[in-house]
Structure 1
Amino acid sequence: MLKKYVDSKELMKVHNIIGLSVALIKNGQIQSIENEGLMEAGTDKIVHNNSVFNACSISKFLTALVALKLTEEDRLDLDEDINKGLRSWKIPTSNLAGEKKMTLRNLLIHQSGVVDPEGSFTELIPETGFPSMSEILNGSTPYCKTPIQIQYEPESDFHYSDAGFCIIQQLIEDVTGGPFEKTVEELIFEPLQMTNSTFLQTEETVENFVSGHNKDGTAVNGKFPVYPYPAASGLWTTSSDLSKLLIELMDALNNKSRIGISAANAHEMISEQGSKSWTGLGVFLDGSNKELQISSLGWGVGFQSMMLAYPQLGSGLIIMTNTDSGVHQLKGIIGEIYHSLKPWLTSTHDKGSETYE
């Protein structure tokens, strides 16, 4: 399917990409999954349907769905003062907040009043181990050396924030009484049969894990970068599993959710929020009506990816690479594939000839 629109092998040579996995969604179903290249440079390990990539910040889309599921169960409230639900850590009171309170809604749209400290939220330092989320938020770890606090009036401005999603993770753990990873497994991975998705790396899972690579094609240190703040950046997954997550949102819009997301909450997710017309709940927006586009980008050590959909048309695209090309996704191979496929994604006439099984 992909080959009808773009020569991905040639683009991989041009951009020096080691491995690639692309999933195409049409009519609310996976149309095809196509893989190219190697899981690790210098080996014969070919990328396949079960190859697990680091999704990096696309994790935030998953976290938003978890948060919405918990609002359906009345365990969270989008517009309640965040401190009412927090137990292990509290956001310090600040005069900079004005009349506004930090809420789950403005955390999800990166308009909470939080600004990430410079140089923060790097990959795991093995010698330090995994800190607790409260330790990170208190500024007592190498990942965030400054305590997190409100620095501007919520919803008056936009600041993309990993710290904001760390707060969401702490909130989810406090209201559920268990680890974030366990909650995601129970509420999302199991019902959607996302069997190749995880936040952990064990001897059993590393076999299918894809190594990250620098722009010169060499493997990054440690091969598999880990981020000790899973709600913001910790998801490891496949293009197939990410497609299931995207299709779940589309199904929820039509009252067919498998995990219990209402159509009202699904519409809320893809609606303009706060002070910026292009921010939804855990996603970014472009266009309107049937041509409304939602997206989430992932960029970390050795990996780049993109999740994009036209939810009203039932079409979508997942592109995952195991190479950090050093340029923004839309200026590299991901952008070239997306622009080549956009006419197909937005067409209401091409129904496709095959469906992925």
Structure 2
Amino acid sequence: MQHYQVAGLSFSLIEEGQISKTEHFGYLESGSDKRVDDTIIFNACSISKFLTALLVMKLVEQGYFHLDEDVNNKLLSWKVPENHYTKVKKVTLRNLLCHQSGIKDPPASFSELQPMQAYPTMGEILNGQSSFCHMPIAVSYEPEREFHYSDAGFCIIQQLIEDVTGKPFSLVMDEFIFTPLNMKNSVFAPKLHDTEQYALACGHHRNGEVVPGKYPFYPYQAACGLWTTSKDLANVVLELMHALKGVSKIGICASHVNDLIQPQGCKEWTGLGVFLDGSQQEIKISSLGWGIGFQCMIVAYPYKEKGFVIMTNTDLGIHQMKGIIGEIYNAFMV
């Protein structure tokens, strides 16, 4: 940590279908005496997409919507604009979850919330009426023909979940994921004036300096709004493993979880909200989070019941596997 100038770090190791180790190191803020412990929550960034995918599969099982139907059938407050691409193939939850919906994020979009900046509505973001996205979101190539990693796609998923349930996204996540998995140290994008309710780690640049505003919040929760601990995330990984064997705390069947970790569309390495390597019983899933002041990673072998979650409050500016996360991963998982 000293070598990489990492301020704080937490990891959890899963072996034989249970958490075998959880360790915490360093501080929630450089120069402070507050050490990282079980209560300190980190910004999980795009690992949020993994939890969103699991929530979608649960809602599919509940009959709220179907993976392969046109999302415009259920969207109420916003619709995917129709054009010649959507006439060929519709935008579905499946192709949104695997980043193959035909939607490409506009340049310089989806930044963090600035201090004292008001939260935009999801409609404002999708309509290009906020500083987070200056252009209306639309399909720009034929769905399922190309892969383009897309925060906008998960904004559409969030809007769909809110439209079909009639509840804020964070409350739906609480009801179907956080509460049954006893994730007491997980929350989606707390507002700035609520930070005293939570023990948040501060984000740091690779030179060790605290990022401006300390806490980078993103107003599009389904894509990257999650704040949590390595242990809470490890419990989500365990839920996936156990559900594959027909033992689920959130009440999701093995077939829906299996769909989540199968290759999708035009890329064999893309699942639903996760990325894949290997196949069948050797399949490895991963989810990476990388944002202002934070880096984290989940890697798991669902059928081997082995996994690893690591969270840091420092952005090293290099891929996770090329820094301290990669070193620790190699020590435990290779």
2: CA distance between counterparts of 1:131 and 1:46? 34
| 1:191 equivalent among 172, 180, 184 | 180
Q: CA deviation at 1:98?
A: 5.1
Alignment root-mean-square deviation, CA: 1.0
% identity of equivalent residues: 56
Alignment partner, residue 65 of structure 2: 76
Q: Distance in 2 between matches of 1:76 and 1:247?
A: 25
Decide whether the 8 Å contact of 1:57 with 1:297 is kept in 2. Answer: yes
Write the distance in 2 (CA, Å) between the matches of 1:47 and 1:148: 39
Equivalent residues in 2 for 1:264-303, closer than 5 Å: 264-303=255-294
Cα deviation for residue 338 of structure 1 reads: 1.2
Residues 191-200 or 285-294, more deviating: 285-294
Report the alpha carbon displacement of residue 203 of structure 1 after superposing the two structures with TM: 4.4
* Alignment-mate amino acid for residue 237 of structure 2: L
In terms of mean alpha carbon deviation, does 230-239 or 196-205 score higher? Answer: 196-205
**In 2: Cα distance, 1:219 partner to 1:339 partner:** 28
Q: Which residue of structure 1 lines up, in the alignment, with residue 220 of structure 2?
A: 229
Q: Residues of 1 paired with 2:186 and 2:31: CA distance?
A: 26
Alpha-carbon separation, structure 2, partners of 1:195 and 1:156? 40
Q: Please give the alpha-carbon distance, in whole angstroms, between the structure 2 residues aligned to 1:165 and 1:41.
A: 33
Q: How many Å separate the matches in 1 of 2:252 and 2:56?
A: 10
- Structure 1 residue 97: deviation in Å? 3.4
1:149-182 residue CA offsets vs partner (Å, 9 max, x unmatched): 0001111000000000000000000000010001
Task: Give the match for residue 117 of structure 1.
Answer: 106
Deviations 1:36-83 (A, max 9, x none): 111110011111122100000000000001111100011011000010
Q: Pick one of 152, 168, 177 that aligns with 2:157.
A: 168
AA of the residue aligned to 1:51: I
**In the alignment, what sits opposite 1:3?**
none
Q: Give 1:337 shift.
A: 1.3
The aligned counterpart of 1:141 is: 130
Residue deviations 1:217-245, cap 9 Å, x none?
Answer: 01011111100000000000000100111
2:144 is the counterpart of 1:155: yes
Q: Distance in 2 between matches of 1:68 and 1:126?
A: 35
Aligned length: 331
Give the conservation status (yes or no) of the 8 Å contact 1:21–1:36: yes
1:31 matched to 2:20? The reply is yes
Residue 204 of structure 1: CA displacement? Answer: 4.2
Using the alignment, how far apart are the partners of 1:247 and 1:187 within structure 2? Answer: 16
The correspondence for 2:325, drawn from 317, 334, 347, is 334
Between the aligned partners of 2:54 and 2:281, the Cα distance in structure 1 is: 22
Any idea what the Cα deviations from partners look like across 1:109-142, whole Å, max 9, x if unmatched? 0000000001000001244411110110000000
2:39 maps to which residue?
Answer: 50
State the secondary structure of the residue aligned to 1:251: helix
Task: Please tell me the residue identity of whatever aligns with 1:175.
Answer: V
In structure 2, the gaps of 5 or more residues are none
Contact kept, 8 Å, 1:97 with 1:151, in 2: the verdict is no
| 2: CA distance, partners of 1:205 / 1:233 | 20
The answer (yes or no) to whether the contact 2:115–2:213 under 8 Å persists in 1 is no
- 1:98·1:153 contact (CA, 8 Å) conserved in 2? no
TM-score (norm 1): 0.91
Counterparts of residues 13-28 of structure 1 (less than 5 Å):
13-28=2-17
Asked if 1:205 is matched to 2:197, the reply is yes
Q: Deviations over 1:7-45 (max 9, x none)?
A: xxxxx1221111110100011111110111111100111
Are the equivalent residues in 2 in contact too, given 1:283–1:294 (CA < 8 A)?
yes
- CA distance in structure 1 between the partners assigned to 2:64 and 2:86 by the alignment: 25
Residue type at the aligned position of 1:117: P
Q: Distance in 1 between matches of 2:2 and 2:52?
A: 34
What is the distance in 1 between the residues matched to 2:250 and 2:273? 17
Work out whether 1:101 is the aligned partner of 2:90. yes
- Deviation track 1:255-303 (CA, whole Å, cap 9, x = no partner) reads 1011111100011000111110000011000012222100000000000
Q: Any unmatched runs of 5+ in structure 1?
A: 1-11, 344-357
C-alpha distance in 1 between matches for 2:176 and 2:281: 29
* Counterpart residue number, 2:171: 182
- The whole-number CA distance in structure 1 between the counterparts of 2:267 and 2:248 is 28
Q: Report what 1:5 is aligned to.
A: none
Residue in 2 that maps onto 1:248: 239
Give the Cα separation in 1 of the matches to 2:236 and 2:52.
11
Structure-2 separation of matches of 1:222 and 1:28:
39
